[in-house]
Amino acid sequence: MRKLLLLLLLAGPAAFAQENKPKEETKHKSDPNAPYTKYKELPAFEAIYMNGKDTFNTFNIPAGKPSLIIYFSPDCDHCKKMLDEMLPQFDKLKNVNVYMMTFMPPIALQVFNRGYHLENYEAIKFIGQDFKFFFPTYYGVSSVPDIVLYDKRKKFVKLWPDVATMDEILAEVKKVD
């Protein structure tokens, strides 16, 4: 029995290890049948502000400027790297309203924000929790980061179901602005 237990302890982690795949194979994708592919209007869903008390509804996102929704996780290394590259250029998004959402609880956002001070970026209008997990279901994504762009009429433009660069985002914004 001890030998079996020892064998399971030693072999267990190897059974769950991921093999190294080329970058193209590891990029995550969106479900081609996800609701966003059928409904082109910005959906209305609730989220909780970083303070953990107040709620925000995407229905109240104003028309008139493109909107960018960044879905991330405070403990995701890919998300942190993407934000580290994007934030120094956020002044280029002055004509865009940015909404940052996560599935993590508000306390995780508060801790994360101590290093990023996201509230200091004029383009960022909301930072909070998608407490009903609407985003991954609606956009058919299963990992983070994900970014969605809507035009100034709140019509769907593009989903990046993976890391996006500021150059890619700005190129799309330029097309709809």
Counted residue by residue, the chain has a size of 177
pLDDT over 70 (residue 17): no
In this structure, how many other beta carbons lie within 10 angstroms of the beta carbon of residue 141? 23
pLDDT of residue 68: 97
Q: Where are the domains of the chain?
A: 63-177
7: pLDDT confidence band, cut at 50, 70 and 90? very low
Q: What is the pTM of this model?
A: 0.83
What pLDDT was estimated at residue 47? 97
63-177: CATH architecture: 3-Layer(aba) Sandwich (3.40)
Query: Do residues 145 and 163 lie in contact, with contact meaning Cβ atoms separated by under 8 Å?
Result: yes
Q: With the C-alpha atoms ordered 141, 83, 93, 108, is the resulting torsion angle positive or negative?
A: positive
Looking at every residue in the chain, the average pLDDT score rounds to 87
**The pair of three-digit structure tokens given for residue 24, joined into one six-digit string:** 């193209």
Q: Vertex 167, ends 164 and 168: CA angle to 5°?
A: 50
What six digits make up the tokens of 41?
Answer: 């209007």
